[in-house]
Amino acid sequence: MILVRHGQSTWNREHRIQGQLDPPLSDEGRRQAELLGRRLAGRRLTGFYASDLKRAFETAQAIGAVIGLDPEPIPGLREIYLGEWEGLRTVEIAERFPEAWARWSEEPDWDVVPGGEGAARFETRVMGALDAIRDSHAHGDVLVVTHGGVIQVALHRVVGRPSHGLFPFKIQNASISVIEHGDGRMVVAGSNDVGHLEPELVTEPGPG
C-alpha cells in the first residue's frame, strides 16, 4: 500500500487547521502533484483511491493524468474532523480555546478538540477504509492519496500503537510512505519520501 499525502493546499501555506474543510491545492501543491505523478509513472497498480476532499482528490487526479488511471473517491479516507478548530490558525486557537489548547500543547490528543470527531471514531473510520481497500486487493500495489492524520493512523497501527493525535512520524506534503502486507503481518517499508520533489517544494508538515 503506497500512501501519499496530498500536495500543499492554500491553507497549508497559510498554516490554518483544515480538518474536513475543503481548500484546494496551491500552485506549489499542483507542482508537487505533477512530480508525484512522474515518480509513480510506470508503476503497475491494482487499485487507486483517494480522499474525496479537494486537496487530496486534486492531487490524485494530477497523478492519474500522468499514470493513466482515474482515482476512486473514498470518504472514509478524509482527514479527521476537528470541530471548532477548523479554519483557525494555532494562535487563534490558543486565544479562543486556552484550556483545550494548553492540554493539547502538553500532550496532543484528538479528544481535547471541542466538537471534534475524536481519536477512537477517527481511527475506526480510517482502519475500516484501509482494510476494505486491502481486502479488495490481495496482491499487487495499491495507491492511496490521503492526509497526514490518516497516514499517521496507518503507520501507528503497524507498530502497534494508537495515534490519539501524536505525530512521531514526519509526513510532509506530497510525501510517499509504504506499508507492505504479507504472511499475515505488516511492515513499514518507507515513510515521508520526498526525493521526487524539487528542494523549494519540500514543505514542513502542516495541519491536515
Q: What is the distance between the alpha carbons of residues 33 and 41, in angstroms, rounded to a whole number?
A: 12
Rounded to whole angstroms, the Cα distance separating 1 from 150 reads 13
Q: Judge whether 164 counts as a catalytic residue.
A: no
Cα–Cα dist 94/179, whole Å:
36
Q: Measured between alpha carbons, how far is 143 from 207 in angstroms, rounded to an integer?
A: 22
Q: Which residues contact 194 (CB under 8 A, 6 or more apart)?
A: 172, 174, 175, 176, 202
Does the active-site annotation cover 34?
Answer: no
Please name which of 56, 67, 46, 64 lies closest in space to residue 136, comparing C-alpha atoms: 46
Asked if 23 contacts 86 with a C-beta cutoff of 8 angstroms, the reply is: no
Q: Which residue has the cell 493546499?
A: 9
Distance CA 62, CA 110 (A): 31
Candidate list 58, 79, 86, 117, residue with the active-site label? 79
- Active-site pick, 6, 147, 156, 164: 6
- Give the residue numbers marked as catalytic: 6, 79
